[in-house]
Copies of this chain bind each other. A is one copy, B any other.
Amino acid sequence: MKNTIGNSLTVTLFGESHGKAIGAVIDGIASGIAVDEEYIASQLTRRRPKDARSTPRQEKDEFSILSGVFEGHTTGTPICITIPNADTHSSDYGEMQYKMRPSHADFTANCRYNGWQDFRGGGHFSGRITAALVAAGALVLPALNKKGIHINTNILSIAGETTEEKRNEKILSAKADGDSVGGVLETAVTGVPAGVGEPWFDTVEGMISHAVFSIPAVKGIEFGLGFDFADKTGSQANDQMYVEDNTVKCYTNNNGGVIGGITNGMPIVFRAVIKPTPTISKEQKTVDIRNMEDTTLAARGRHDPCIVHRAAVVVESVTALVIADMLGAKYGTDWLAKFE
C-alpha cells in the first residue's frame, strides 16, 4: 500500500521537501460536497510556522486543486491538490547528505532507498509533507461537521508543562540551547454513532493508530485511560451504563469511546506523544556513510525547536480522514454528501 491509506476514502501522498511540489490525491470522496478554499487555506495556516517557536522557513502554501472539483463542489472523482515548494535553502544540507542526523530518518531512508532518496531537507520524510495531509483533511472536515461530527486536538503538555506560557518558555529555552522538546496531544471526536469499526484488525483504534503513526515524531498512542488501565481493577475501569432518552450512555468514558474495536457512541478520545524534534544544533555523535566512519554533527539549516503545537492540526486532519473512510465504508459512497 505504501503511500496510500484508506479503503472507501483513500489518500495518496507525494512530494519532497525541496522538490517542485508536495501534494495528495484524495479519492472516494462523495460528489456534491462544497469545497471551501478559504477554509483549506486557514487550516494550512494553522500548521504553518508563525513565530520564534518554529522554523524560520516560510512557505505560503499556495495550493492548487488540479482535479475532482468543478464549480465549487466535489465531482466524486480523485482530487489532486498540489502545494509548490518555494522557500527552499538546499545548500544548507550539503554536509547532511552524508552525516546522518541522529533520530532523524536520514539513515533509515538511506537503507530503505539504497541511497537514491532526495536527501534535501528530509525529502519525502519531511514534516512539510503533512501540509498535504492538512489540505486533504480540510476537504472532509466541513462535511463531517455538518453531520454533527467534530474533531478537536489539544496540547496536553510540552516539555512536561501544561500551561501555554510555561510551554512556550520551554520551547524558547530549548531553542536558545540549540535543543528541542516534545509533548502530548489529546484528540476528541464527538458525534460518531455507535457501531462503527470491526472486531478484528480494522478496529477503530487500529485504523486511527495506523494513520497517526505516519505523522513524523509520533511514538505512542493510547485510547481512553490508555496506559493508566494497567493499575486499575475491572470494577474501577469498566464504563458502567445507563439509558437516557432511549439511548445507551456510559457514566465514564475510560474506554475512549471504543469497545471491542467498535464505537459505543461516547466521544472517541486518544492521546499521541510527539518526540522532541531530532534536528538540533547541539553537537551529536553520528556517522558519515561515505566512508563509514564516526563523526559529529551540529545541524545547520532551519528547523523547529518544537513541533507539538504545529502537529495538532495534522492529527485532526488525519483523524478526519480515517473517520470519513470508516463511515463511508459503513454507509456507502455517497454518505458524506447526504444531509437531512
Pairwise interchain contact B114-A230, C-beta atoms closer than 8 A: no
Pairwise interchain contact B227-A184, C-beta atoms closer than 8 A: yes
Q: Are A16 and B77 also in contact (CB < 8 A) when A27-B4, A206-B214 are?
A: yes
Chain B residues, CB < 8 A from A64: 20
In the assembled complex, A219 has its CB within 8 A of some CB on chain B: yes
Chain B residues, CB < 8 A from A199: 3, 77, 105, 109, 112, 124-125, 214
In the assembled complex, A202 has its CB within 8 A of some CB on chain B: yes
In the assembled complex, A52 has its CB within 8 A of some CB on chain B: no
How many copies of this kind of chain does the complex include?
4
Chain B residues, CB < 8 A from A194: 107-108, 111
In the assembled complex, A67 has its CB within 8 A of some CB on chain B: yes
In the assembled complex, A163 has its CB within 8 A of some CB on chain B: no
> Chain B interface: which of A38-46, A137-145, A242-250, A309-317?
A242-250
Chain B residues, CB < 8 A from A191: none
Q: Which of B198, B238, B259 is in CB contact (< 8 Å) with A284?
A: B238
Q: How many A residues, CB 8 Å from partner?
A: 155
Q: Which residue on chain B has the smallest CB distance to residue A203? A: B213
In the assembled complex, A56 has its CB within 8 A of some CB on chain B: no
* A332 CB to nearest chain B CB (Å): 4
CA A313 to CA B259, docked complex, whole Å: 22
Pairwise interchain contact B108-A292, C-beta atoms closer than 8 A: no
Q: Assuming A68-B124, A248-B292, what are 4 further A-B pairs, CB within 8 angstroms?
A: A14-B25, A20-B65, A105-B262, A179-B235
In the assembled complex, A267 has its CB within 8 A of some CB on chain B: no
Pairwise interchain contact B220-A227, C-beta atoms closer than 8 A: yes
Q: Which of B74, B104, B114 is in CB contact (< 8 Å) with A32?
A: B114
Pairwise interchain contact A19-B67, C-beta atoms closer than 8 A: yes
Chain B residues, CB < 8 A from A226: 219-220, 273
In the assembled complex, A76 has its CB within 8 A of some CB on chain B: yes
Pairwise interchain contact A70-B289, C-beta atoms closer than 8 A: no
CA A127 to CA B274, docked complex, whole Å: 32
- Contact mask for chain A residues 1-26; partner B; CB cutoff 8 A; 1 contact, 0 none: 11111011010111110011111010
Q: Which residue on chain B has the smallest CB distance to residue A259? A: B108
Chain B residues, CB < 8 A from A109: 199, 260, 262
Q: Which residue on chain B has the smallest CB distance to residue A222? A: B220
Pairwise interchain contact B77-A284, C-beta atoms closer than 8 A: no
Pairwise interchain contact B114-A334, C-beta atoms closer than 8 A: yes
Which of A28, A78, A255, A329 is the most central at the interface, judged by chain B CB atoms within 10 Å of its CB?
A: A78
Q: Which of B5, B251, B259, B273 is in CB contact (< 8 Å) with A230?
A: B273
CA A200 to CA B136, docked complex, whole Å: 14
In the assembled complex, A294 has its CB within 8 A of some CB on chain B: yes
- Contact mask for chain A residues 175-213; partner B; CB cutoff 8 A; 1 contact, 0 none: 001011111100000000111111111110111011111
Q: Are A205 and B219 also in contact (CB < 8 A) when A77-B123, A112-B195 are?
A: yes
